Structure 1
Amino acid sequence: MAGNGTLTRADLADSLNRQIGLSRAESASMVESILDMMSVALEKGENVKISSFGTFVLRDKTERVGRNPKTGIEVPIAPRRVLTFRASQSMRDRIARS
């Protein structure tokens, strides 16, 4: 993992390279392929579940009224689709132990 505390695509590819022995190009290609499959599924409106890790869930939010915090003026917030992540119970347990 990079020194900044963020796991990147390059870190994932490097891990595949070291642990499985794939070439750097093969490792990077595999990471990209997995992320592309996840992105396509989400674009189609499907949820993405990874056992023992969590689920990426799409939610449709309806239009609602918000308020500008500086002026207090009410502003309509357009309906939109948002992506959320729900960690699995085993992932939550792992995080709680660390």
Structure 2
Amino acid sequence: MTKQDVINQVSERTGLDSLTSRSIIESFFEVVKESLTEGEPIYIRTFGSFILKRRAPKVGRNINQNTAVTIAAHVVPSFKPSRDFTDQVRAQGITVETKK
């Protein structure tokens, strides 16, 4: 599903025109990005949390040059689904195809 598909479904379900739905969804994304950029997590009950996760420094390898590369500590955005959301998805019994 693409962002346009989401916009179309929101538009159908709310009865709003496509441009208004697009504006609302784009605004939501901007709020999430701005909040996480400022270090503030977002908690949405029954849906999930947008949080920041800290990654520790580590040593990686550049296999082309066969050298060790130090990867500095950094922060990455993450989404953690709520228990209700996870249980709802599990109840559907959907299987996901894995790449080999």
> What is the TM-score normalised by the length of structure 2?
0.77
* Equivalent position to 1:19, from 2, 6, 13: 13
* Range with bigger deviation, 74-83 or 26-35: 74-83
Q: How far did residue 53 of structure 1 move? A: 1.3
Q: Which amino acid aligns with 1:77?
A: I
Residues 60-69 or 27-36, more deviating: 60-69
Stretch deviating more after TM superposition (71-80 or 81-90): 71-80
Unpaired runs of at least 5, structure 1: 1-6
What displacement does 1:64 show? 2.0
Identity score, percent: 29
Question: Aligned ranges for residues 3-18 of structure 1 at < 5 Å?
Answer: 7-18=1-12
What is the number of residues matched between the two proteins? 92
Shift in Å at residue 75 of structure 1?
2.5
Q: How do 1:1-98 residues align onto structure 2 when only pairs under 5 Å count? A: 7-68=1-62, 73-98=67-92
* TM-score w.r.t. length of structure 1: 0.79
Structure 1, residues 51-78: CA drift from partner, whole Å, max 9, x if none? Answer: 1111111022232223456787432111
Deviations for 1:24-59, whole angstroms, at most 9, x for unmatched residues? 111111111111111110111111222111111102
Point out where structure 2 has 5 or more consecutive residues left out of the alignment.
93-100
Q: Bigger shift: 50-59 or 7-16? A: 7-16
RMSD of aligned alpha carbons = 1.9
